[in-house]
Structure 1
Amino acid sequence: MAVRELRYFGDPVLKTVCDPVTRFDKPTESLVTDLLETVEKPGRAGLAAPQIGISLRAFSYNVDGEIGYVLNPEIVELSEETHAIGEGCLSVPELWFPTVRAKRAVVRGVDLRNEPVVVEGKGVLAQCLQHETDHLDGMLYLDRLAKDEKREALREARGKDWFWNR
């Protein structure tokens, strides 16, 4: 399999609600392998399928040595306690803004055998679970920013070489 090319802010696939994974076959196994290999690069904590151009509910994560994937993830629990934590995104490189996230998150989904999977995270892993699930719902972290910060982020993004509509 392969480390896949990333899609960047402005690409419509990043704003599309993803379809559930319904086939647990070789192509789905290849997608999971690609997600895992692509997230292994240094500085990467998570990667959702739309970030590599695939509109399916799947993501991988790599946080503090904990590496895995979830198909058809749904957030089933968020702590009431939140914090503003610095957040970036592989699809919005070079930008970093404080984003309000729950300090603890639980995601439920399935694996390649369509067997139940539950991932619970605190801190950065909780942030990652929320961030990647947002991708599958057609949201970028920029959508969660306060109005003024979002305006600043959008202005900065439009000036970058990677911006999709250039």
Structure 2
Amino acid sequence: MAILKIARMGHPVLLQRAEPVADPHHPEIRRLVADMAETMLDAGGVGLAAPQVHVPLRLFVWRGAGGVEVLFNPILTPLEGPVEAAWEGCLSIPGIRGEVPRASRIRFEGLDANGDPVEGTAEGLAARVMQHETDHLDGILYLSRMPDLTKLGFTEELARAQGHA
């Protein structure tokens, strides 16, 4: 396994729509998933999409209830329920956080780590992370989802303002 270089905001790979993963069993894809998981954990992230490591494919890893999970070729559908605003960060936009509205509940489908079809629902942080990472697969950064840019700031300054620094 290896720590991969994370693309930062401004790199073209973050602005394009990623291509579907044709074969989740291919050894290069398996290695990519392992390297992405190691990279995400090393960077202290809760999710990481393939375009963030310069690979324009439709997959992401995230910290799920059972450890690091992967979803290939995800399709997300918002479910009935409130849209909730919460603070998000991004490994491709280091040191900055913003308040982003997202569906509180989603339905997801795609392929799991074994390449088998998987579907289900997610809510709370899991739903937020899945939406954030799927946005990366569509070339969207969370900043473009923010209706109020006054809710954007450097992580250190936001912590200081909230009395955590």
Task: Give the TM-score normalised by structure 2.
Answer: 0.83
- 1:136 aligned partner: 137
SS at match of 2:42: coil
Quote the offset at 1:106 in angstroms. 2.5
Quote the offset at 1:43 in angstroms. 3.0
CA contact (8 A) 1:134 1:140 kept: yes
Identity between Structure 1 and Structure 2 (%): 38
Quote the offset at 1:41 in angstroms. 2.6
CA contact (8 A) 1:21 1:72 kept: yes
Quote the offset at 1:102 in angstroms. 1.1
- What pairs up with 1:82-101 in 2 under 5 angstroms? 82-101=83-102
- 1:67 aligned partner: 68
Please say which of residues 93-102 and 113-122 is displaced more in the overlay.
Answer: 113-122
For 1:62 and 1:114, how far apart are their aligned partners in 2? 18
- 1:161 aligned partner: none
For 2:122 and 2:83, how far apart are their aligned partners in 1? 13
For 1:137 and 1:92, how far apart are their aligned partners in 2? 17
- AA at the equivalent of 2:17: V
For 1:64 and 1:97, how far apart are their aligned partners in 2? 25
CA contact (8 A) 2:70 2:113 kept: no
- What pairs up with 1:13-162 in 2 under 5 angstroms? 13-23=13-23, 24-41=25-42, 43-63=44-64, 66-118=67-119, 120-146=121-147, 149=149
CA contact (8 A) 2:78 2:103 kept: no
SS at match of 2:68: strand
CA contact (8 A) 2:58 2:137 kept: yes
Instruction: Number of aligned residue pairs: give it.
Output: 153
For 2:6 and 2:120, how far apart are their aligned partners in 1? 25
SS at match of 2:130: helix
SS at match of 1:36: helix
Report the RMSD for the aligned CA atoms in angstroms: 2.2
Unaligned residue ranges in structure 1 (runs of 5+): 157-166
Unaligned residue ranges in structure 2 (runs of 5+): 155-165
Task: Give the TM-score normalised by structure 1.
Answer: 0.82
Deviations 1:11-69 (A, max 9, x none): 00000100000123101111111121112236311000000000000100015664200
- AA at the equivalent of 1:114: G
